[in-house]
Structure 1
Amino acid sequence: MYLKKIAAIIRGKLIGSNIKINNFSINSKNINNNCIFIAIHGKYFDGHNFILEAINNGAKALIVHKYVSVYIPQIIVNNTTLSLGKISAWKRSKYKHCIIGITGTTGKTSLKEMIVSILQKKYNILYTIGNMNNYIGVPLTLLKLNNNFQYAVIEIGGSSYKELVYLSKIVKPNIAIINNIDIAHLQGFKNLFTIIYSKKQIFYYTKHDGIIIFNDDDDNQKNITNNIHNKTIMNFSLYNKNATVYASNIQIQAYIIKFYLHAWQKKIYIHLNLIGGLHHISNALAAATIIIALKNNMTLQNIASGLTDFHPIKGRLYPIFIKKKQIILHDAYNANPKSVCTAINILKNIPGYKILVIGDMLELGSQSKYYHIQIGKIISSAHLNVVFSIGEYTKNIIYNNTFYSKHFTSFTDLIHQLLCILKNQKHYTILFKGSHKNNMDTLINILLKQLPK
């Protein structure tokens, strides 16, 4: 793509030669062949401060919001972040194959990885790496689109109505799915009604004659398809035998999940190598519904094989086995009321001594204290052995509760107390749960280094 074409797409002013560009980057350290560096101006950083580094690493051109005195061509725009979105929207418009759009409150990344695990056995696919699902990550993924990819699987997150509309407009999926809806990011959404309406935007922006898929078990999606026209509607359910895809004969054991998946008036046995929870089955059904919606040559056997090959993702109920019957569950990538409840329900059903280390659920705005108190009530009924909390709002979890608990203000004190308890336990599970900004990764790494080998 030549710079004049890029400048026209983003309505910028080209200064310098009209050279050809093959790659885009916002990371000055990650510059590929014939790459243009987009100087994103964010809340905590300014890409314009890294222009010289980008040039030294091989950048051939720049997209900037102000003129810079350099020897390579530059395109000047009003907003580099919006320009990133405009280029990715143009790339999407040229893509001839199917894009799958995924959104929801929890489990988006796990669902995406399940779909990828099934599809990549037969097809060349582009998909969201990690959790790059926001107003920066989604456009960066779409910039990699070309028609050699037979499918694209795009995860769409967001912390406000505006962001979800923006991303849904860019992605314009052929098939869209909402796996669940619940309370999260209240600082941006304010209330559950706004969350539901915001998630629904992906259905509005699904391509004409596309397919939309909803979770029939989710009370917050009961009317989610109202006023959606010219789209095929499909659904999945743990219980409803009238759903497009449903489950039966569910068996949840400590480290294995078994059930029958029903679709196409057939059924197939599914074996998931995951620490138990109904949410895993729901995600598996959602992934299967996507595959069925594609109407390609994949079979139920392909679906079952892909699901069996799916493994836990770090930070999402990821098991770390210390010794036999000694496990750390790393579930600290993110936290909202629904995901915390899910994790606690899983912990309480695992045999042995049960310890919960919980950090703050963030971005709940003025309702933070309320939801942390509610989580405390759920913990009280879970009959755990020990609950340790760290953070500002988790003090409300242990307030006026009857289980053995302690609140900490430092990692050092928490680890010391934890090690004292573990000395006398041969069979235990420790669940670490909290929002990413709690730095629970660091806490887990400190513990792992100090545990006896």
Structure 2
Amino acid sequence: MKELSLKKLAAWCGGTIHPADAEAAVTGTQIDSRLVRRGDLFVAIAGERVDGHDYVSKAREAGAAAALVSRLVDDPLPQILVADTVLAYGDMAREYRTETGVDVVAITGSVGKTTTKEMIASVLAGKYRVSKTQGNHNNHLGLPITVFEMPADTQEAVLELGMNHFGEMHYLSSIAKPNVVVITNIGTMHIEHLGTREGILKAKLEIMDGIQPDGVAVFNGDEPLLWNLREGKHRRIYFGIENDQCDVVAEDVRQIDGGVYFVVRGLGQRFHVYVPQEGQHTVYNALAAIAVGLLRNVSPDSIQYQLGIFHNTGMRQRIFEEDGVTIIEDCYNAGPESMDAALKVLREHKAEGRRIAVLGDMLELGSRSMAEHYRVGRLVAQSADLLLAYGKDSQRIIIGAVTGGMSQKCAVHYEDQEEMAASLKRLAKPGDILLFKGSRGMHMEKVLQMYLEQEKNS
């Protein structure tokens, strides 16, 4: 971020400086005292277990320039006093985003928003200096962190916005003030809190509340709930595969060499694209990135190149080989739609041996949980030769798989991850392909890690 004065930051959040004559040059922000760098504003947050006000002195010792507090701390570090440090931090971020004048692309959706964010950032990086959301910084604290972490020369900011309750997206959008809004899809994640898919749509559409007057919305046109929103105050650009009335359409979609190939038609352009990542969901993610790239005047040649070298991040779908066994790592999260997409990849990926699904619960489905886990189990029976399931709700996956035709001997439920990994070590053979998938709270990456460590030690 660029250097800011204590006086300006206090004015942005309606705070008072203590002592009144204190001056400081702030060059960053931090909410964790262990990560404070010289020149940072330390934001003291009072949590349920830890109170940041108890660490103001440690922040000063680490080089903090000042602290944002909701009660004055007996420490020589200059402090900005406010009623609520979380809300004040958001107010500061909102004003800083406005002052920078950066163009913002904000992304939300039930499935695929993180990968879409990465693809959009990759495409825009072919022409602009890009900053993007890191990790899971997509909430009321993560967004301000991301905004203040933007390098001073940033031209395009690609921000992921997440929510699970009404009102959250409205707040995040008021900070991001996007020039372009992207909604990847409307699924059933968080239906426990939002009631219906229509409720999820309503909550997601709050992202439009902060859009710039000349802003553009980029929506998935294969989703009827979004397609029905064609009329509106702001320009709409639709992308899709099945709906040929969309503005940006993928044609001649093919799975080739561990990735997807397709022809893009729309916005006055027609060109082919290859993305080194499998699955139809990859095409949708890429189409959103292509639509944003074309809106931002990135050339087709540059879009082709940037998507052609795209590599996903973290625990989101990554395919690799270990001792002759192909592994699909897709552990970051799971809902019905993303589980379906992952099983489709497992089903269609070339394999000399068996297809093995290693699955955990899908969380936050509320009253739909039993039915959705059972339905996924039926799909597993069509997609895999073996099923290993972990978690209370995943017992319904087992039932669904067996009633769908899978042998009871091939569908096993586990209550212990170490036992699951040990069984997998005995079962997996060269030529097999393994899919690891589950909700974030199930930590299926731990099963994968234990399995890989056993492989190395064998």
Hey, what does 2:382 align to over in structure 1?
381
259, 263, 268: which is aligned to 2:266? 263
- Structure 1 CA distance for aligned equivalents of residues 263 and 197 of structure 2: 33
Hey, what does 2:328 align to over in structure 1?
329
- Structure 2 CA distance for aligned equivalents of residues 146 and 255 of structure 1: 35
Instruction: Check the 8 A contact 1:314/1:330 in 2, yes or no.
Output: no
TM-superposition CA deviations, 1:92-115 (whole Å, max 9, x none): 121323211111111111111111
Aligned-partner SS, 1:157? coil
Residues 45 and 393 (structure 1), Cα distance of their counterparts in 2 relative to 1, 3 Å cut? farther
Gaps of 5+ in 2: none
Instruction: Check the 8 A contact 2:375/2:400 in 1, yes or no.
Output: no
Hey, what does 2:9 align to over in structure 1?
6
- Structure 2 CA distance for aligned equivalents of residues 44 and 160 of structure 1: 23
- Structure 2 CA distance for aligned equivalents of residues 387 and 108 of structure 1: 28
Instruction: Check the 8 A contact 1:81/1:136 in 2, yes or no.
Output: yes
Aligned-partner SS, 1:441? helix
Instruction: Check the 8 A contact 1:178/1:213 in 2, yes or no.
Output: yes
Hey, what does 1:409 align to over in structure 2?
415
Gaps of 5+ in 1: none
- Structure 1 CA distance for aligned equivalents of residues 115 and 105 of structure 2: 14
TM-superposition CA deviations, 1:359-405 (whole Å, max 9, x none): 111222343233222222222333x1111111121112112642221
Structure 1 residues 129-208: aligned runs within 5 Å: 129-145=134-150, 148-208=153-213
Instruction: Check the 8 A contact 1:254/1:349 in 2, yes or no.
Output: no
Aligned-partner SS, 2:104? strand
> 2:215 aligned with 1:233, yes or no?
no
CA-CA distance at 1:146 after TM superposition = 6.3
Instruction: Check the 8 A contact 1:41/1:81 in 2, yes or no.
Output: no
- Structure 1 CA distance for aligned equivalents of residues 28 and 434 of structure 2: 44
CA-CA distance at 1:147 after TM superposition = 5.8
TM-score by length of 2: 0.92
Residues 202 and 372 (structure 1), Cα distance of their counterparts in 2 relative to 1, 3 Å cut? same
Hey, what does 2:245 align to over in structure 1?
242
> 2:341 aligned with 1:342, yes or no?
yes
Aligned-partner SS, 1:29? helix
- Structure 1 CA distance for aligned equivalents of residues 328 and 401 of structure 2: 24
Aligned-partner SS, 1:4? helix
CA-CA distance at 1:332 after TM superposition = 0.7
Aligned-partner SS, 2:263? strand
Instruction: Check the 8 A contact 1:92/1:145 in 2, yes or no.
Output: no
Structure 1 runs, 4 residues or longer, greater than 6 Å off: none
Hey, what does 1:80 align to over in structure 2?
85
Aligned-partner SS, 1:212? strand
Instruction: Check the 8 A contact 1:237/1:247 in 2, yes or no.
Output: yes
> 2:224 aligned with 1:219, yes or no?
yes
CA-CA distance at 1:179 after TM superposition = 1.2
Hey, what does 1:441 align to over in structure 2?
445
Cα RMSD (Å) of the superposition? 1.8
Instruction: Check the 8 A contact 2:376/2:400 in 1, yes or no.
Output: no
110, 115, 119: which is aligned to 2:124? 119
55, 68, 81: which is aligned to 1:50? 55
Return the letter of the residue paired with 1:287: A
Hey, what does 1:430 align to over in structure 2?
434
Residues 78 and 131 (structure 1), Cα distance of their counterparts in 2 relative to 1, 3 Å cut? same
- Structure 1 CA distance for aligned equivalents of residues 151 and 419 of structure 2: 52
CA-CA distance at 1:243 after TM superposition = 2.2
CA-CA distance at 1:427 after TM superposition = 0.8
Hey, what does 2:100 align to over in structure 1?
95
Hey, what does 2:295 align to over in structure 1?
293
Return the letter of the residue paired with 1:66: R
Instruction: Check the 8 A contact 1:239/1:248 in 2, yes or no.
Output: no
Hey, what does 2:282 align to over in structure 1?
280
TM-superposition CA deviations, 1:403-423 (whole Å, max 9, x none): 22111111222122212212x
Residues 64 and 237 (structure 1), Cα distance of their counterparts in 2 relative to 1, 3 Å cut? same
Aligned-partner SS, 1:160? coil
- Structure 1 CA distance for aligned equivalents of residues 123 and 421 of structure 2: 40
CA-CA distance at 1:145 after TM superposition = 4.2
TM-score by length of 1: 0.93
Quick one: percent identity of the two aligned structures? Answer: 30
Aligned-partner SS, 2:167? helix
Return the letter of the residue paired with 2:309: D
- Structure 2 CA distance for aligned equivalents of residues 22 and 10 of structure 1: 17
